[in-house]
Chain A
Amino acid sequence: MTDGVPEPQLDPLLLDPTRLAIVALLAATEWAEFAFVRDSVQLSDSALSKRLSQLSDTGYVEVRKGYVGKRPRTWVNLSGAGRGALSAHIAKLQQIATQVNKPADRADQSG
């Protein structure tokens, strides 16, 4: 804890690159079609369904089913909890990523 502000943490669920890719894709949309997510992350229908179930169980994504004409469609959306988790995850990643420059900075300053 720093000044009462909670330290951002890496989300264990988002450590999986595929789940992170799904959440990042959904972060820039309001609702995305299942087929768009599947083609973007190059997963099979069943593999994507499994990942979405995991994300849905933790409340990170919402899944809705409907019809366009007679064809069944599935839409996916990142929930508020999901957006919050991704923001915290990104903040922590940025924190870790900046550490790579710190030794070099110190070397520059001493030299």
Chain B
Amino acid sequence: MTTPEEAQRALLDIEERKQQSTTAARSSRWWWIGGGLFLIAFGVAGELAPDFMDDWGSVFVWALLFLAIARSSRWGSRFFGRQVRPRLAGSPAHRLGLGVIGAVVALLLVLVAMWLDVPHLALAFSIVGGLLLMLAGPWWEGRMLARGSRT
């Protein structure tokens, strides 16, 4: 027979354990800072050394894409020192849909900026994107993990 007090204690313990996992699944803030700085450096390099970026830019992009996918696997998580693979809210199809919407919005923003003839467009995007990664990345990750732990 479980008393109301025991039930309350068990519920508190469940929440604490979930919080423990969510904290373990969080990336280090340095990942976000590093990612943001890399994006800004990518944009600056595109302005200062366009020939070099024409040759090597796509290599960097593919390497980063591989890194991002590898990091989300069990082996990748372990390799990067994360003992827990995070649980994200929503189905993979739902997350893919949100990704596609994000990509379309980003593309529309680029097209509008091109139409307005914004100077140094790639540099502006890399700086805005980099700062967004550094400042909003940890908050966004925390929010996603908290939502995932509730489902």
Q: Enumerate chain A interface residues (CB-CB to B < 8 A).
A: 10, 15, 17, 20-21, 24-33, 35-36, 40, 64, 66, 68, 73, 75, 86, 90, 93-94, 96-100
Contacts and interface: CB of A to CB of B under 8 A. Distances in A.
A75 B5 CA distance: 34
A33 B14 contact: no
B95 interface: no
Contact of B83 (A26, A33, A66, A93): A33
Interface of B: 2-5, 7-8, 10-11, 13-14, 17-22, 24-25, 74-75, 77-79, 83-88, 145, 148-149
A97 B4 contact: yes
Contact of B10 (A20, A30, A31, A99): A20
A15 B87 CA distance: 25
Contacts of A28: 17-19, 21-22, 25, 87, 145, 148-149
A36 B74 contact: no
